[in-house]
């Protein structure tokens, strides 16, 4: 295997880093209670560090190898600390920026060492053999890490859905939860089950599993758009559906209440405005389709729901004084 192919494989692995990020870690729902997700991502990061250092050791001068070994070993130490603390945001942030930059630097050092080194035919053959051995070790290591990460991601998705199911149970005596239950059923059908099927397939390859993991996101984080990435936006959809159910319950109470003319008009106007805000929030999510929600879209959805919530409080206050 020549140096160009080795370098190409290395850069592909670097660009695939996003697949191993803990999706939308700013979302409180997406926790990693067992540490299995960050643990698998950490294992994959170690595979790639071992790979580049093995190649660098064969191709570059000792001092260059030592420099990058110290840097990358430090990166792994930082990632281990974040994983142990279950700090998903810090883990993702460091892995997606500093770690990736250092990996690129190391592979650039490999390329420069190869370009600046005059080798005999025998030396080239020795290097080729060392590259192939390093690549074989990496492929074995990486396959295990990818499989572990995929399994951990599925488990976390199931954990998240289970948490939402518990929330719905607590709401059953307050609002109609039919829509919320249907939403979770859709999440399982559109995200969890397809991901499970692809990962557990007997024909699944590490590359195929990597693509599957990066193609089905319960919240946001999958890239590629409508053809290769499915972002379900569960958090936003759940909050919108819940607010809609609250509005329906308030509508029933308003219809049954003995409100005066002026108060009745004000309450019904607030209900209409509340419905408008909920529709606007839904339209903002629907407009993204399978794409990731932008920060502006997320802010818009949050703003609409906050306004709807404020109106709900006003309606509840008015109903409290209707008797």
Q: Are residues 135 and 258 in the same domain?
A: no
pLDDT value of position 100: 93
Residue reference for tokens 């109470």:
253
**Residue 105 covered by a domain:** yes
Distance CA 12, CA 2 (A): 16
Give the contacts of 121 (CB within 8 A, at least 6 positions apart). Answer: none
Give the total number of structural domains in the chain.
Answer: 2
Distance CA 7, CA 113 (A): 12
> What φ, ψ does residue 216 adopt, rounded to 5°?
-130, 105
**Residue 75 covered by a domain:** yes
Q: Are residues 238 and 157 in the same domain?
A: no
Range of the domain at 290: 234-320
Q: What percent of the chain has pLDDT over 70?
A: 86
- Helix residue ranges per DSSP H, 225-260: 225-228, 234-256
Q: Are residues 167 and 51 in the same domain?
A: yes
**Residue 203 covered by a domain:** no
Q: What is the mean pLDDT of the segment spanning 259-278?
A: 91
Distance CA 289, CA 287 (A): 5
What is the DSSP secondary structure assignment for residue 87, as one 8-state letter?
Answer: -
Average per-residue pLDDT in the chain?
A: 85
Q: Are residues 93 and 14 in the same domain?
A: yes
pLDDT value of position 14: 47
pLDDT value of position 173: 93
CA-to-CA dists, residue 47 to 1, 71, 291, 304, angstroms: 19, 15, 30, 45
Q: Are residues 101 and 242 in the same domain?
A: no
Is residue 175's pLDDT more than 90?
yes
**Residue 199 covered by a domain:** no
Q: How far apart are the first and last CA of the chain?
A: 83
**Domain end among 157, 174, 191:** 174
149: confidence class by pLDDT, cuts 50, 70, 90: confident
Q: Are residues 167 and 260 in the same domain?
A: no
pLDDT digits (tens, 9 = 90+) for 87-107: 888 898 999 899 999 999 999
Distance CA 299, CA 283 (A): 13
**Residue 87 covered by a domain:** yes
321: confidence class by pLDDT, cuts 50, 70, 90: low
Q: Are residues 20 and 158 in the same domain?
A: yes
Q: Are residues 50 and 151 in the same domain?
A: yes
Closest by alpha carbon to 55, among 11, 100, 20?
11
Q: Are residues 151 and 254 in the same domain?
A: no
Q: Are residues 130 and 256 in the same domain?
A: no
Alpha carbon 235 to its chain centroid, in Å, reads 13
pLDDT value of position 20: 55
pLDDT value of position 23: 52
Q: What is the pTM of this model?
A: 0.77
pLDDT digits (tens, 9 = 90+) for 120-146: 788 778 888 888 898 889 888 888 888
Residue reference for tokens 């802010």:
299
């Amino acid at each position: 295997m020549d140096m160009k192919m080795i370098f190409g494989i290395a850069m592909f692995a670097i660009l695939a880093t996003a697949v191993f990020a803990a999706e939308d870690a700013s979302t409180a729902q997406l926790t990693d209670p067992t540490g299995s997700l960050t643990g698998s991502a950490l294992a994959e990061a170690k595979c790639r560090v071992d790979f580049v250092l093995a190649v660098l050791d064969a191709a570059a001068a000792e001092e260059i190898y030592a420099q990058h070994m110290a840097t990358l070993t430090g990166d792994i130490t930082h990632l281990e600390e974040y994983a142990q603390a279950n700090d998903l945001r810090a883990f993702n942030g460091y892995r997606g920026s500093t770690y990736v930059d250092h990996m690129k630097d190391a592979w650039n050092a490999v390329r420069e060492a190869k370009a600046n080194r005059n080798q005999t035919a025998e030396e080239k053959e020795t290097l080729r053999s060392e590259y192939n051995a390093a690549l074989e070790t990496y492929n074995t290591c990486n396959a295990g890490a990818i499989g572990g990460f995929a399994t951990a991601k599925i488990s976390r998705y199931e954990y998240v859905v289970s948490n939402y199911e518990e929330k719905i149970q607590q709401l059953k005596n307050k609002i109609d939860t039919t829509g919320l239950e249907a939403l979770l059923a859709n999440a399982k059908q559109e995200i969890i089950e397809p991901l499970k099927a692809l990962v557990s397939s007997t024909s699944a390859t590490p590359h195929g599993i990597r693509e599957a993991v990066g193609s089905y996101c319960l919240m946001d984080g999958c890239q590629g758009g409508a053809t290769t990435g499915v972002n379900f936006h569960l958090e936003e959809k759940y909050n919108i559906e819940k607010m809609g159910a609250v509005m329906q319950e308030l509508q029933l109470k308003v219809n049954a209440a003995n409100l005066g003319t002026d108060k009745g008009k004000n309450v019904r106007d607030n209900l209409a405005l509340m419905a408008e805000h909920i529709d606007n929030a839904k339209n903002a999510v629907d407009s993204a389709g399978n794409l990731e929600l932008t920060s502006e879209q997320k802010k818009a959805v949050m703003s609409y729901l906050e306004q709807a919530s404020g109106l709900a409080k006003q309606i509840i206050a008015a109903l409290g004084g209707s008797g």
